[in-house]
């Protein structure tokens, strides 16, 4: 299926599969008819179009192609007025001819939402900005059959010069501020969408700490040049990556060829065991008697196995272990004052108190 734009065309009526489409120009060559890419009315994707900071593709990776992207100025625009069907966005590229109009392309070309996952928009301003910036980078990317999508190659290096700010991220299990902190949410959203779409996972790394925005065993950490999130388009048709923003979340979506009726992909944990966090007390002579200081908050751990199931008419035809992880609990660390020294027996006798070994024999 070709998704390239046909430009500089004049308007005429063209019947197609019982539908009438306003398109134009000379008849398209066989196989190119689906690439007559109309401009929608003012229904725009929510992502900005500035590609001035687009990264160069990594060696060995096919550079991503982009579908039509509208002229919205911010990812955070209201979706109620500006969202348009992503079925159509599969087909759309920029064109200077406003006369091109959209018919029911989704039904004609059999395009479906294969997988989607919501990630929260953080309240931290830097994390929020990083999430939106990386979501803009992946929105509209097309992945050909057999092609590997690389998050790092698509988003590029996270630097202040490219607009990334210092947000929260994990470093060896500890939360620290670092440039680009927060973009792992977008990587995690795409990873989960790819799982649900039944795509092949080429690379995925768990975080060194527990995250709250994905089920256990379903997060995806990324570090530019070190850890990537990659999936392979194992379908027979191109895929389209879309990012849609609302006030409090971003939805990552993968669109492609409609699977046969009755086929479904299910992702779920098949084993989960919580591991409670222990408490470790350490004496601190600088503390006052009875004083207790929490040096580290606890975090429960877990053992988890996540599997993916392919079903046909409610019958399992294939299953795959996608994650098998042990997350050690983080103990609760307490600094406590030392206990008071034992009483001096002679001092107690001089002060008139009972001796420690005194006992009444009843005589």
Phi, psi (rounded to 5 degrees) for 191: -60, -45
Tell me the average pLDDT of the chain. 74
Q: Do residues 218 and 89 make contact, with C-beta atoms less than 8 angstroms apart?
A: no
**Tens-place pLDDT, residues 286-340:** 999 999 999 999 988 999 999 999 999 999 999 999 999 999 999 999 999 998 8
Model confidence, pTM: 0.68
Q: Is the pLDDT of residue 203 over 70?
A: yes
pLDDT for position 26: 32
Question: Which of the four pLDDT bands, split at 50, 70 and 90, describes residue 359?
Answer: low
- For residue 164, what are the contacts with CB-CB under 8 A and spacing of at least 6? 129, 130, 133, 158, 179, 180, 183
Backbone angles phi, psi at 277, to 5 degrees: -85, 130
Confidence class for position 3, pLDDT limits 50, 70, 90: very low
pLDDT interval class at 162 (50, 70, 90):
very high
| 5-31: average pLDDT | 28
Region of poorest pLDDT, from 31-35, 49-53, 67-71, 205-209: 31-35
How many CB atoms neighbour CB 7 within 10 A?
Answer: 12
- What are the chain's domains? 11-259 (no CATH), 260-339 (2.20.230.10)
């Amino acid at each position: 299926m070709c998704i390239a734009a046909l430009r500089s065309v004049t308007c005429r009526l063209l019947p197609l599969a019982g539908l009438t489409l306003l398109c134009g120009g000379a008849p398209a060559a066989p196989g190119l008819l689906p690439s007559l890419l109309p401009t929608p009315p003012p229904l725009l994707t929510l992502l900005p179009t500035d590609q001035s900071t687009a990264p160069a593709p990594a060696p060995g990776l096919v550079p991503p192609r982009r579908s039509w992207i509208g002229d919205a100025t911010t990812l955070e625009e209201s979706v109620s007025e500006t969202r348009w069907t992503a079925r159509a966005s599969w087909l759309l590229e920029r064109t200077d001819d406003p006369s091109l109009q959209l018919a029911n392309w989704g039904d004609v070309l059999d395009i479906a939402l294969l997988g989607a996952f919501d990630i929260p928009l953080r309240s931290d301003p830097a994390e929020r900005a990083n999430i939106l910036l990386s979501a803009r980078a992946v929105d509209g990317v097309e992945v050909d059959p057999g092609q590997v999508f690389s998050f790092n190659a698509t988003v590029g290096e996270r630097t202040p010069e490219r607009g990334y700010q210092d947000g929260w991220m994990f470093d060896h299990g500890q939360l620290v501020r670092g440039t680009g902190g927060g973009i792992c949410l977008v990587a995690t959203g795409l990873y989960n969408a790819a799982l649900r779409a039944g795509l092949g996972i080429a690379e995925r790394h768990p975080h060194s700490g527990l995250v709250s925005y994905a089920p256990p065993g379903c997060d995806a950490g990324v570090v530019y040049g070190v850890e990537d999130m990659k999936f392979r388009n194992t379908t027979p048709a191109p895929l389209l990556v879309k990012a849609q923003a609302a006030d409090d979340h971003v939805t990552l979506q993968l669109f492609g060829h409609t699977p046969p009726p009755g086929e479904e992909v299910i992702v779920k944990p098949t084993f989960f065991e919580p591991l409670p966090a222990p408490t470790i007390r350490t004496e601190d002579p600088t503390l006052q008697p009875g004083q207790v200081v929490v040096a580290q908050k606890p975090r429960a751990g877990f053992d988890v196995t996540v599997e993916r199931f392919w079903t046909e008419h409610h019958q399992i035809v294939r299953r795959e272990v996608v994650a098998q992880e042990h997350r050690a609990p983080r103990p609760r660390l307490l600094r406590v004052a030392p206990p008071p020294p034992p009483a001096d027996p002679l001092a107690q006798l001089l002060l008139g108190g009972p001796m420690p070994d005194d006992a009444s024999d009843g005589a």
